[in-house]
Chain A
Amino acid sequence: MKVAFTTSGQNLDAPMDARFGRATGFLVYDTDSDTFEPVDNQQSVNTAQGAGIQATEAIVRHGANCLVTGHCGPNAFRALSAAGIRIYTTEAATVAEALEAFRAGTLATINSADVEGHWS
């Protein structure tokens, strides 16, 4: 299973980014092989509109089945749901902490957007 974490960094010690659509980037972690791949999200950061939709396309391209982030707006939620991606939210400070919580099964999933669009 591949899990996408929103982050501004390139490794597990990097801080989590609470945003999804306009997160600096993602770490897509493969729980089967315990390897990860950084994914750039600059294109969505700079887009005029539809960042959450474009970010969904980016993590789908990298094979993610789950997303761990801070918050998720309505359009991103619709796109992620259509793509069959489970959404978990966390306030963890780093990707490593969020990954640990994900593995321990203590992260909450959300069943609807938890913020308005353009919240951050």
Chain B
Amino acid sequence: MILAVASGKGGTGKTTVSVNLARSTGSAVQLLDCDVEEPNAHLFLCGLKTGSEIVTIPIPEVDESLCDACGECGRFCRYHAIVSFGASPLVFPEMCHGCGGCTLVCPRGAIREIGRRVGVVETQEVDGITLIQGRIDIGVAMAPPLIRAVKSRMNSKGATVILDAPPGTSCPVIATLRGSDYVLLVTEPTPFGLHDLRLAVDMVRELTIPFGVVVNRMGVGDDRVHQFCREQEIPILLEIPDDRRIAEAYSRGELVVDALPEYRSHFATLLWNIRDSRRSQS
């Protein structure tokens, strides 16, 4: 099963849920940290680094001796990454999405693709958990190509894969969620939490992936998240109390299930609830 952990709002506890679930599955599990702009699952899982690979996207390089400045490449590129003003085209590498269209439309074959580094994919092994994380280079704005590179290392045959998504509802999140079997939306019972949960629910419904909610920091805020879930018939699969000891363990980089054994049953139950909810929604 490919399980994605997402949220509208940032800081609701996606990584807490992801790493503790990974530890609770009890079998070989892959944890993919797709929050490539600020991967943090590794802070909780210190293991042996087993690999680091550079990820590039293809960008155009123009051979000026072949180019006749026809401008076809610029007319094709919807991202304005290549443009010609009656001379050899200008390339704006940071705008390029790497689609390769300009190389295809160039009638003179003057454009070839070269790699532009966008980040790295790092792998480590920690007590049966294979952690694969993307780390985007500073100054690179486009996360989805790197997220796809992280996901290409996925091996879901019979095993559990947990995807720790970035917050929000934009392209990096879509790139993470696409192809997953179930989405856990982590929220908190506050007006901010609810506002962004609504956006996240709309997004997951659009993607037609079964989903359920985890309410973190139960005890703060109000009951509107619960009311919303009731009205929308969205299952709440786990409530994590607003327990100061959880925050303290987190601040030390410890897993909740290690530091506070009484919470082990919470995450074991969550796994059951996910399987149940997935069955009933499919």
The secondary-structure label for the interface of chain A is: helix
Query: Do residues A49 and B87 form an inter-chain contact, with CB atoms below 8 A?
Result: no
Contact B95 A82 (CB under 8 A): no
A57 touches B95 (CB 8 A): no
**Which residue from chain B places its CB closest to the CB of A57 in the assembled complex?**
B83
- B85→A50 contact, CB < 8 A: no
Contact status A82-B80, CB under 8 Å: no
Q: Which residues of B contact A82 (CB under 8 A)?
A: 83, 85, 87, 90
* Given A60-B85, A82-B85, A50:B80 Cβ within 8 A: yes
Cβ-neighbour of A47 out of B80, B83, B85, B90 (below 8 A): B80
A101 within 8 A of B: no
Determine the distance from Cα of A79 to Cα of B83 in the docked complex, in whole angstroms. 8
A78 touching B92 in the complex, CB below 8 Å, given contacts A50-B79, A50-B80, A54-B80: yes
Mask of B24-35 contacts with A, CB within 8 angstroms, 1/0: 000000000000
For B79, the chain A residues whose CB sits under 8 A away are 48-50
Residues of A within 8 A of B95 (CB): 49-50, 53, 75
Closest-by-CB residue of B relative to A80 is B85
A63 beta carbon closer than 8 Å to chain B? no
Contact with B along A96-108 (1 / 0, CB 8 A): 0000000000000
Chain B nearest CB, measured from A22 CB (Å):
13
Nearest chain B CB to A117 CB, angstrom units:
9
Name the CB-closest residue of B to A47. B80
Q: Would you call B246 an interface residue if the criterion is a C-beta within 8 Å of the partner chain's C-beta atoms?
A: no
Q: Which of A35-71 contact B (CB under 8 A)?
A: 47-50, 53-54, 56-57, 60
A49, A54, A79, A84: the one contacting B90 at CB < 8 Å is: A79
Q: How far is the CA of A84 from the CA of B74 in the complex (A)?
A: 17
Report whether A78 and B90 are in contact in the complex, using a CB–CB cutoff of 8 Å: yes
Q: Are B87 and A50 in contact (CB under 8 A)?
A: no
Decide if A50 touches B81 in the complex (CB within 8 Å).
yes
Residues in A whose Cβ lies below 8 Å from that of B74: 57
Q: Can you offer 9 A-B residue contacts whose CB atoms are under 8 A? A: A47-B80, A49-B95, A50-B79, A50-B92, A53-B92, A56-B85, A78-B92, A82-B87, A83-B85
| Chain B residues within CB distance 8 Å of chain A | 74, 79-81, 83, 85, 87, 90, 92, 95
With A54-B80, A60-B85, A75-B95 known, 4 other A-B pairs at CB within 8 A are A53-B83, A57-B83, A82-B83, A82-B85
